[in-house]
Chain A
Amino acid sequence: MRVDEKTLAEDIVRMSGTNVKKCMKCGKCSATCPSFEDMDVHPHSFVTMAEEGDVAGLLKSKSLWKCLSCFACVERCPRGVEPAHLIEAVRFFALSPQGLNKMKPDVVPIFLQNLEEKGAEVPQQLLTSAFRKYSK
């Protein structure tokens, strides 16, 4: 159903509005990330993987749903690469194949309920960000 991975990677990068080539591998994104310990793929690696076109790796990484969208990496990146925007774009690609299954306002209370029961499974900031993005 999909075009080849390389084109897909390029689409994701374009959609994110980031320029992964600007990355100078300083690691400030990973240094500043509050979710670092929960992630299997760390923000700086996310940028490298996108640069290499490893979409499969990005889509199956746990980090995709661990990013808080706090945008600390966007704020601190000295080269303006904006790793969080990249992660947001990959999330969109993970969600879009589910058709009209976009988040609606009425599902939010369920998420919040889960949040109380199971702890920080879905971070609140992620929810806000996703709601803002996908409910249109």
Chain B
Amino acid sequence: MLGQFDICRPGSVAEASAVVAERGDDAVFYAGGTELLILMKERLLEPALLVDIKTIPGLDAIALDPGGRSLLLGGLATHRAVERSPLVREVLPELAAMETAVANVRVRHAGTLGGNLCFAEPHSDPATLLIALDAAFTLASASGARDVPAADFCVGFLTTVREPEELLARITIPLPGAATRVAYERFKTHERPDASAAATLTVDDGVVTDARIAIGCVGERPTRVPEAERALIGQAPSPDAFAAAADLVRDLVEPTEDPFASSDYKRHLARTLTLRALARAGAADGGTNGR
């Protein structure tokens, strides 16, 4: 049984943001409720007002920017909508594939990408891939909007830089170029993933010219591993180079032990998943560049 609360349904981002700004801790944004309602059942959160943002027009759009260089996902787009979007499947199939693995079909129908990112549960998939893709999140409020790089958004366990009255309105993902391939790998022993690795690899004339590696679920927040990325630059995309980068990932991640996996096991998983992601992104017929 949930505690008492009321629900309101604002018509715009400005209106929704103003309600939360005025009510403070008493009010929270409410969309799919897949995380929020569970916390409310446990009485870990007891808001007096749910601000239902699902009916604000346009927040669930999935489109290309006018120049066709970026994929724009509304924060209210559900996991299922992203997974099944013909556009996403065409321009960034690895993102659609990642979404296919999130939770189960009921959660994917209800849960939104923005809600998932703002909740910042470490054992989650989307943030890790979005960090490797160098996405940006647009936080909108009654007083305007600001863009935050995906890598800077989550700052700790269930903690982001978002202010309570800011709504994650849009996710902007620059589309990888023809020479860049993307791969996301995850492993789970229970409902949520224990570890995940996302890699993007740009290869020009047989040499890695750019690489991004993001590790998720292992520590309190998903993070890039710049040392491992740098180790790849200038190298041929070879098994030896990938193994050296994956070893760095194993040594440099900061695992948080949890009931499902020890720190050592998480380091092992981080290495293995990095290796798999790099191997797939580095293979001529592996990974995806979105075309």
Co-assembled chains A and B? no
